[in-house]
């Protein structure tokens, strides 16, 4: 029994741990090696950035918190899950950058808790498409879950919802650019971001909040260099997607590691007579941390450094 408990404790400890830079003989390298890429992303820590969130919902703006957690992990190409044996030297072991994006905000009496995870291969010349995206949303009415898995030329989309009209779905979605992958593309090398008229599967957060069908839409993608904005007083860049009825702008630092400073998202919000509102997230702080090992009560102090609520 003690051996079983110990094994479970070890498994739970390494469940979130990234790849160790000293044991990555077979791990794919970035297609374009940037200065300090390995030193930054394979140092045994995740990058955690907190944001002050103003979320559009039900025709109003609601205050909340958002967090972006970026970390590299060993990923099973065949099973599309994190490898338990991160020393696996087979071709099935592909190094990915995982993004966990969370949003928490209140709408009146009840809270929303949303999370999106994207698993993007670092060697995007060898593996040009994300392997997987998962998104969940919880609030007092119920919860929903969506998962995209790369299957040859298409994505398999499975969705589960408490809404009758959305129900349980299992369909194929053509392989196009995923809006959810663009956050990790920025962190790899923003020079490789798509520009011009492109086909994009909109954010899974957006699909959920607006109860939209998961299908590709045309968007115009552009980049802009600015000297200053409300997101930073230093020169930085803006990557923008403009759809017919929605606009997303991601603000990020010009130099490596291309930290995301914040974002704006404008679309009609509400039912009946929707209002054109803008969701906005502005960075509070960024830290590097092996957070999976910081799970005691005293470690709550770290949340203060991030400007996040204790609960």
pLDDT at 216: 92
List own/partner pairs for 107-115 with CB under 8 A and 24 or more apart. 107/57, 107/58, 107/62, 107/139, 110/139, 110/140, 110/141, 111/139, 111/140, 112/55, 112/57, 112/64, 112/137, 112/138, 112/139, 113/137, 113/138, 113/139, 114/138, 114/205, 114/208
Cα 96–chain centre separation: 13
Residue 6, domain member (yes or no): no
Taking all residues of the chain, what is their mean pLDDT, rounded to a whole number? 88
Residue 79, domain member (yes or no): yes
Instruction: Provide the CB-side half-sphere exposure for 265 (13 A, CA).
Output: 19
Residue 133, domain member (yes or no): yes
Other beta carbons within 10 Å of 38: 16
pLDDT in tens, 161-190: 988 888 799 999 999 999 999 999 999 999
Residue 23, domain member (yes or no): no
Q: With contact defined as beta carbons under 8 Å apart, do 118 and 180 qualify?
A: yes
Residue 22, domain member (yes or no): no
**Is it the case that residue 132 has pLDDT exceeding 80?**
yes
pLDDT at 32: 45
Other beta carbons within 10 Å of 99: 23
Q: With contact defined as beta carbons under 8 Å apart, do 130 and 150 qualify?
A: yes
Residue 27, domain member (yes or no): no
> Who contacts 198 (Cβ-Cβ below 8 Å, separation ≥6)?
177, 218, 219, 220, 221
Residue 228, domain member (yes or no): yes
Of 116, 105, 113, the C-alpha closest to 58 is 105
How far is it, in rounded angstroms, from Cα 110 to Cα 141?
Answer: 9
Q: How far apart are the first and last CA of the chain?
A: 34
Residue 18, domain member (yes or no): no
What is the β-pairing status of strands 46-57 and 196-201?
Answer: unpaired
DSSP single-letter state for residue 120:
E
Between 311 and 286, the more confident residue is: 286
Q: At 143, is the pLDDT very low, low, confident or very high (cuts 50, 70, 90)? A: very high
pLDDT at 265: 97
Number of domains in the chain: 1
What is the β-pairing status of strands 177-178 and 196-201?
Answer: parallel
Tokens of 10: 């070890």
pLDDT in tens, 34-71: 668 999 999 999 999 999 999 999 999 999 999 999 99
Instruction: Give the global pTM.
Output: 0.89
Q: Which domain does 145 fall in, by range? A: 35-305
pLDDT at 34: 62
Instruction: Provide the CB-side half-sphere exposure for 235 (13 A, CA).
Output: 4
pLDDT at 170: 94
**Is it the case that residue 12 has pLDDT exceeding 90?**
no
């Amino acid at each position: 029994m003690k051996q079983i408990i110990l094994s479970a404790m070890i498994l739970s400890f390494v469940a979130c741990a990234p790849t160790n830079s000293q044991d990555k003989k077979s791990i794919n390298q970035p297609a374009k090696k940037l200065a300090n890429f390995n030193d930054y992303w394979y140092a045994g820590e995740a990058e955690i950035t907190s944001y002050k969130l103003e979320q559009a919902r039900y025709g109003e703006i609601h205050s909340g918190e958002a967090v972006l957690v970026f970390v590299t992990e060993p990923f099973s190409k065949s099973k599309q899950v994190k490898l338990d044996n991160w020393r696996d030297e087979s071709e099935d072991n592909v190094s990915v950058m995982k993004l966990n994006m969370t949003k928490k905000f209140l709408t009146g009496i009840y809270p929303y808790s949303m999370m999106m995870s994207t698993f993007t291969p670092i060697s995007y010349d060898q593996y040009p498409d994300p392997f997987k995206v998962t998104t969940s949303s919880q609030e007092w009415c119920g919860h929903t879950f969506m998962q995209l898995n790369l299957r040859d030329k298409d994505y398999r989309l499975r969705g589960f919802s408490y809404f009758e009209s959305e129900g349980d779905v299992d369909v194929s979605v053509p392989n196009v650019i995923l809006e959810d992958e663009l956050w990790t593309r920025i962190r790899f090398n923003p020079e490789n971001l798509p520009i011009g008229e492109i086909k994009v599967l909109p954010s899974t957060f957006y699909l959920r909040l607006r109860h939209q069908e998961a299908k590709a839409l045309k968007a115009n993608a552009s980049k802009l260099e600015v000297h200053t904005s409300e997101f930073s007083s230093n020169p930085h860049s803006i990557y923008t997607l403009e759809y017919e009825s929605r606009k997303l702008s991601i603000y990020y630092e010009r130099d490596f590691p291309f930290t995301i400073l914040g974002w704006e998202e404008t679309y009609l919000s509400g039912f009946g007579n929707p209002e054109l509102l803008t969701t906005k997230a502005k960075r509070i702080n960024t830290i590097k941390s092996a957070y999976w090992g910081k799970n005691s009560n005293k470690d709550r102090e770290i949340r203060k450094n991030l400007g996040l609520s204790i609960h």
